[in-house]
A and B are shown apart, each in its own frame.
Chain A
Amino acid sequence: MQKKMDRRQFIKLTGYGGGVVFASGLAGFGTPAFAARKKPPAAAEDFYFVQLSDTHWGFSNPAVNPDFEGTLKKAIAEVNALATPPDFIVFTGDLIQTTDDPAVRRQRMSEFRDIAAGLNVRNIRYLAGEHDAALDNGKAFREFFGETHYSFDHKGVHFIALDNVSDPTANLGEAQLAWLAADLAGRDREQQIVVLTHRPLFDLAPSWDWATPDGGKAVDLLLPFEYVTVFYGHIHQENHHMTGHIAHHSAQGLMWPLPAPLSVPKKGPIPWDSAAPYKGLGFREVKAGHEGTSLSELPVKA
């Protein structure tokens, strides 16, 4: 465990007027190497959660990922092997590979749910991706995993799950934006807020479909709050971006990696490298608490 840990990348996005601080090769949580200028006062207790994303269960092209049946299970075994279990686990969408057949969609979701039941931690939060929800406005997803947008509190941190995928045009929509405004109304502006969603809420690369057309409206509603961090998926790689003082972090996927935004003429999976199997696939630990938010990226081990 310790040996593994010093290969991790730690990232501290202060968001406290301090911008982005990247720190790699640090030994563990609680390392005082990244100094926040100002600490968020509201959260009382430290904890961590795990983010898994873009598992695309049902995908079956061995040229892209020859272990298409095993990668998710491997990641789950690695989460189960973590020295300290996380408080909860979140899947940020694209649980299954899309299919035009509603029966196959439900079959894949049912299989996915059975595999996820192998997680030792039973507190699991699910978000939808367009592969799960865009062809039926989230109907099958809700049958298996519950609502597509919701909020909850954990140890003083307010979590908000936003749905930018059930609408086939990838908008949050006025109804959800009104819900978000109501959820935030009257809230302490110094409370830590973590937003979970599938697609970037900002224009990362609209010509690659890496955006949410009305995502800026959600960001505007969040801007008055001092400590906001967004975790998302969709782009199958890490990306770290600030809109004002709000930090946005995308996660690696668990089926195939994608190239850096607009780095190649045509977006498509990075081919499997048999010399470095599972390269670019992994998951993330997010530590939250009185020091703010810090991240640790873990690769799927070969």
Chain B
Amino acid sequence: MKRSIQPVAAGLLVAAAGAFGFTAGWASDPPVQKIRMVKVSSKRYEFIPAQLTLKKGETVDIELSTEDIVMGFSAPELKLRATMVPGQVSHLRLTPQEVGRFDFLCDVFCGAGHEDMNGAITVVE
């Protein structure tokens, strides 16, 4: 990728804009940094959706919520975790650096179906 020749912040911006098919020419009007939002809600005993597909290098904001009780969202290999509290939303920002499958799971024991409450983030080129 050409990002190595860009300053870090600009590189991120280009990557984010590129994902939306925008041109990266900010000479005239500086682009608003648009970060794609991905919503994940949860309830006993599932994440909705349970499968996320993200692009390598694309910064996303994962908005997490729970419909019933306290849940945890944890993707250990991506070092991402948040607690989801009813009535609140939490956010995790992520710019995946590697393609592959990264499992996530509920890490707050939430009841009889807790152990089946999981999903995966698939990162593609």
User: Which residue numbers of A lie inside 8 Å of B, CB to CB?
Assistant: 98-100, 130, 134-135, 165, 168-170, 203, 206-209, 211, 213, 266-267
Contacts A207-B76, A207-B77, A207-B103 given; does A168 touch B112 at CB 8 Å: no
Contact B76 A168 (CB under 8 A): no
Within the complex, which residue of B103, B105, B111, B115 is in contact with A100, where a contact is CB–CB below 8 Å? B111
**Which residues of B lie under 8 Å from residue A134 when comparing CB positions?**
109
Compute how far the CA of A121 lies from the CA of B67 in the bound complex, rounded to whole angstroms: 48
Contacts A206-B76, A207-B76, A209-B115 given; does A168 touch B109 at CB 8 Å: yes
14 pairs, CB–CB < 8 Å, chain A vs chain B? A98-B111, A98-B114, A135-B109, A169-B72, A203-B76, A206-B76, A206-B77, A207-B76, A207-B103, A208-B103, A208-B105, A209-B105, A209-B115, A211-B76
Within the complex, which residue of B75, B102, B110, B115 is in contact with A168, where a contact is CB–CB below 8 Å? B110
Contacts A207-B103, A209-B115 given; does A170 touch B77 at CB 8 Å: no
Task: Report the interface size class on chain B.
Answer: 10 to 19
Tell me the nearest residue of chain B to A211, going by C-beta: B76
B108 close to chain A: CB less than 8 A = yes
Compute how far the CA of A294 lies from the CA of B112 in the bound complex, rounded to whole angstroms: 36
Compute how far the CA of A213 lies from the CA of B72 in the bound complex, rounded to whole angstroms: 13
Contacts A206-B76, A207-B76, A207-B77 given; does A168 touch B103 at CB 8 Å: no
Tell me the nearest residue of chain B to A99, going by C-beta: B112
Most central of B74, B105, B107, B109 by chain A CB within 10 Å:
B109
**Which residues of A lie under 8 Å from residue B115 when comparing CB positions?**
209, 267
**Which residues of A lie under 8 Å from residue B76 when comparing CB positions?**
203, 206-207, 211
Compute how far the CA of A266 lies from the CA of B108 in the bound complex, rounded to whole angstroms: 19
**Which residues of A lie under 8 Å from residue B114 when comparing CB positions?**
98
**Which residues of B lie under 8 Å from residue A209 when comparing CB positions?**
105, 107, 115
Tell me the nearest residue of chain A to B75, going by C-beta: A207
Q: Closest approach, in angstroms, between the C-beta of A32 and any C-beta of chain B? A: 43
Compute how far the CA of A130 lies from the CA of B72 in the bound complex, rounded to whole angstroms: 15
Contact A130 B109 (CB under 8 A): yes
Q: Closest approach, in angstroms, between the C-beta of A121 and any C-beta of chain B? A: 31
Compute how far the CA of A118 lies from the CA of B104 in the bound complex, rounded to whole angstroms: 41
**Which residues of B lie under 8 Å from residue A208 when comparing CB positions?**
103, 105
Q: Closest approach, in angstroms, between the C-beta of B68 and any C-beta of chain A? A: 12
Tell me the nearest residue of chain A to B101, going by C-beta: A265
Q: Closest approach, in angstroms, between the C-beta of B123 and any C-beta of chain A? A: 15
**Which residues of B lie under 8 Å from residue A267 when comparing CB positions?**
115
Tell me the nearest residue of chain B to A166, going by C-beta: B109
Given contacts A98-B109, A168-B108, A169-B109, 16 further A-B contacts (CB under 8 A): A98-B112, A99-B112, A100-B111, A100-B112, A168-B70, A168-B109, A169-B108, A170-B107, A206-B74, A206-B77, A207-B103, A207-B104, A209-B107, A211-B76, A266-B118, A267-B115
Compute how far the CA of A283 lies from the CA of B70 in the bound complex, rounded to whole angstroms: 35
Compute how far the CA of A169 lies from the CA of B85 in the bound complex, rounded to whole angstroms: 14
Compute how far the CA of A208 lies from the CA of B77 in the bound complex, rounded to whole angstroms: 11
Q: Closest approach, in angstroms, between the C-beta of A127 and any C-beta of chain B? A: 16
Contacts A207-B76, A207-B77 given; does A169 touch B111 at CB 8 Å: no
Q: Closest approach, in angstroms, between the C-beta of A178 and any C-beta of chain B? A: 23
